[in-house]
Amino acid sequence: MRQFLDFEKPVAELENKIDELRQMTDPEGVNIEEETARLSEKAEKHLRTIYAKLTPWQKVQVARHAQRPHAQDYINALVTDYTPLAGDRLFGDDKAVVGGMGRFDGTPVMVIGTERGSDLETRLQHNFGMARPEGYRKAQRLMTLAGQFGLPILTFIDTAGAWPGIDAEQRGQAEAIARSIATCFDAPVPLIATVIGEGGSGGAVALGAGDKVLMLEHAIYSVISPEACASILWRDPKQASTAAETLRLTAQDLKRLGLIDQIIPEPVGGAQRDPDAARKAVGKVLSETLKDLLPLAPARLKELRREKFLAMGREALH
Considering just the CA atoms, what is the radius of gyration of the chain in Å?
21
pLDDT in tens, 215-241: 999 999 999 999 999 999 999 988 999
Residue 25 in this model has a pLDDT that exceeds 70? no
What are the Cα distances from residue 188, in Å, to 195, 196, 294?
22, 24, 11
Residue 24, burial from CB neighbour count under 10 angstroms (0-12, 13-18, 19+): exposed
Of the candidate ranges 32-36, 143-147, 173-177, the one whose mean pLDDT is the lowest: 32-36
112: β partners: 99, 155
Residues 257 and 248 sit within 8 Å (Cβ to Cβ): yes
Task: Give domain 60-311's CATH superfamily.
Answer: 2-enoyl-CoA Hydratase; Chain A, domain 1 (3.90.226.10)
Rounded Cα gap, residues 290 and 6, in angstroms: 38
Rounded Cα gap, residues 272 and 216, in angstroms: 12
Neighbours of 188 (CB within 10 A): 14
What are the Cα distances from residue 264, in Å, to 66, 216, 223, 256, 260?
20, 5, 21, 14, 11
Half-sphere exposure of 230 (CA within 13 A, CB side): 14
Amino acid at 189: V
Residue 317 in this model has a pLDDT that exceeds 80? no
pLDDT in tens, 88-105: 999 999 999 999 999 999
Query: Quick one: residue 28, left, alpha or beta (phi over 0 = left, psi -120 to 50 = alpha)?
Result: left
- CA-nearest of 269, 185, 263, 256 to 219 is 263
Percent of the chain exceeding pLDDT 90 equals 82
Rounded Cα gap, residues 133 and 79, in angstroms: 26
Rounded Cα gap, residues 181 and 256, in angstroms: 23
Rounded Cα gap, residues 273 and 2, in angstroms: 8
The DSSP secondary structure of 103-143, one letter per residue, reads EETTEEEEEEEE---SSHHHHHHTGGG---HHHHHHHHHHH
Residue 14 in this model has a pLDDT that exceeds 90? no
pLDDT for residue 129? 94
Residue 310 in this model has a pLDDT that exceeds 70? yes
Q: Where are the domains of the chain?
A: 6-53, 60-311
Question: What is the rounded average pLDDT for all residues in the chain?
Answer: 93
b vs e for 234-272, b when ≥16 Cβ sit within 10 Å of the residue's Cβ? eeeeebbebbbeebebbbbbbeeeebbbebbebbebbbb
**Can you tell me whether residue 47 is helix, strand or coil?**
helix
The DSSP secondary structure of 169-206, one letter per residue, reads HHTTHHHHHHHHHHHHHH-SS-EEEEEEEEEEHHHHHT
